[in-house]
């Protein structure tokens, strides 16, 4: 690691992205199929778009190892980049491919592919032609069903929640189903595997939605920073991506029904919680001069204790 690498790790920039000036539905209109709506944790298109515009140039490769419905890939091809995604759940693989096909039907002649598989096995899963090629990774860890989903009102049954899971809750191969400690260990393994496919000085952008457990706000961004360091990546920036519209004098929140309902109930119980109005965006980069070979990266193993959960903070 050179002197510049050390400087970047010690002094990370902080900035704010105004990524919710229009509603999520408006951001997706015309670029995503109706089936895309069902995914429980869709990345905000303007977050992916801002990252791609900021960290890449046309023609460069953008990678998402947990691509879901393909938001990162769709925004990349619309911006003239190449795109590669990995997705574990077969249903979301099909949806991501249909979204890319929609882009092609709209005249976007792109080089984009979605591969089905476990992102923890990236080094053996992705073709060798992609080694050292990616300029940017944009992704997000799964959080489980606590803040996701849609609602319906059934006669005599009240409000029902649906489309709030990534796949079968019994599938232990899905990172969303294996508990917080193992999720962080798995995500560290994914970050380590990404080093094989990133070029020197390439960036990794991780979007992280604040997450409450028993009314406690989990400091997931700090845990993801620890995971990135354990995987050999260099912290470069920590960013606030707004989930609320920045008006002239205040923020106009765009929280989901479940988030609003949770806040209302907590306030009625005497806890002064507020609606979450942003995502954290943690940005890493690879060393400017790679000191790890592709074959060495294949053998990378990180112990789960290197990024175990810690530092809960009370939501104010």
Q: What share of the chain is helix, strand, coil (3-state, %, to 5)?
A: 35, 25, 40
Residue 147 has pLDDT above 80, yes or no: no
CA distances from 217 to 34, 81, 221, 273 (A): 33, 36, 11, 10
pLDDT band at 32 (very low <50, low <70, confident <90, very high): very high
pLDDT tens-digit map of 223-240: 999 999 999 999 999 999
How many structural domains compose the chain?
1
The answer to whether 137 and 203 are in contact (CB under 8 A) is: yes
Instruction: Give 177 or 29, the one with higher predicted confidence.
Output: 29
Q: Residue 238 belongs to a domain with what CATH number?
A: 3.40.50.150
Instruction: Give 101 or 146, the one with higher predicted confidence.
Output: 101
Q: Strand pairing partners for 314?
A: 216
Neighbours of 248 (CB within 10 A): 4
Q: What tokens does 114 get?
A: 């979605």
Residue 295 has pLDDT above 60, yes or no: no
Least confident of 152-156, 179-183, 231-235, 272-276: 152-156
**Closest residue by Cα to residue 163 from 152, 176, 175, 150:** 150
pLDDT tens-digit map of 232-289: 999 999 999 999 999 988 888 887 677 778 788 888 988 887 777 889 999 999 998 7
Residue 145 has pLDDT above 50, yes or no: no
Q: Which pLDDT does position 261 carry in this prediction?
A: 81
Q: Which pLDDT does position 276 carry in this prediction?
A: 79
DSSP structure string for 246-271: E-SSSEE----HHHHHHHHHHHHTT-
For tokens 């959960």, what's the residue? 309
CA distances from 199 to 18, 56, 136 (A): 28, 12, 9
Residue 16 has pLDDT above 60, yes or no: yes
Domain housing 146 = 3-314
CA distance 91 to 167: 8
Q: What tokens does 104 get?
A: 């092609």
pLDDT band at 173 (very low <50, low <70, confident <90, very high): low
Q: Taking the model in full, what pTM does it have?
A: 0.79
pLDDT tens-digit map of 80-93: 999 999 999 999 99
For tokens 């990024």, what's the residue? 307
φ, ψ of residue 110 in degrees (nearest 5): -120, 160
Q: Which pLDDT does position 48 carry in this prediction?
A: 98
Q: Which pLDDT does position 149 carry in this prediction?
A: 45
Where does residue 214 fall: left (phi above 0), alpha (psi -120 to 50 degrees), or beta otherwise? left
Give the H/E segment covering residue 46. Answer: helix 45-55
Instruction: Give 217 or 44, the one with higher predicted confidence.
Output: 44
For tokens 């939501």, what's the residue? 315
The answer to whether 49 and 79 are in contact (CB under 8 A) is: yes
What are the E-state strand segments in 209-311? 211-213, 216-218, 234-242, 245-246, 251-252, 278-285
CA distance 92 to 114: 10
């Amino acid at each position: 690691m050179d002197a510049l690498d050390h400087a970047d790790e010690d002094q990370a920039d902080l900035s704010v992205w105004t990524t919710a000036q229009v509603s999520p539905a408006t951001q997706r209109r015309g670029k995503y199929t109706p089936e895309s709506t069902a995914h429980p944790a869709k990345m905000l298109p303007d977050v992916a778009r801002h990252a791609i515009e900021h960290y890449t140039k046309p023609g460069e490769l953008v990678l998402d190892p947990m691509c879901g419905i393909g938001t990162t890939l769709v925004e990349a091809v619309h911006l003239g980049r190449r795109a590669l995604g990995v997705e574990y759940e077969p249903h979301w693989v099909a949806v991501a491919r249909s979204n890319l096909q929609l882009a092609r039907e709209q005249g976007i002649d792109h080089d984009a592919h979605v591969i089905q598989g476990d992102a923890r096995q990236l080094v053996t899963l992705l073709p060798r032609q992609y080694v050292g090629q990616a300029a940017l990774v944009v992704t997000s860890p799964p959080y489980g069903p606590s803040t996701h989903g849609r609602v319906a009102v059934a006669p005599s049954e009240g409000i029902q929640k649906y489309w709030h899971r990534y796949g079968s809750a019994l599938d232990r191969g899905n990172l969303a189903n294996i508990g917080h400690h193992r999720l962080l260990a798995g995500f560290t393994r994914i970050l380590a595997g990404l080093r094989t496919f990133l070029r020197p000085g390439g960036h990794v952008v991780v979007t992280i939605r604040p997450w409450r457990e028993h009314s406690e706000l989990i400091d997931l961004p700090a845990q993801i920073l620890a995971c990135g360091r354990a995987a050999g990546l260099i912290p470069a920036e920590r960013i606030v991506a707004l989930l609320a519209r920045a008006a002239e004098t205040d923020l106009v929140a765009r929280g989901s029904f479940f988030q609003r309902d949770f806040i209302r109930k907590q306030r009625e119980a005497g806890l002064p919680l507020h609606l979450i109005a942003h995502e954290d965006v943690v940005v890493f980069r690879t060393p400017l001069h790679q000191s790890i070979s592709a074959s060495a990266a294949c053998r990378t193993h990180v112990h789960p204790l290197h990024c175990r959960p810690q530092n809960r903070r009370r939501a104010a």
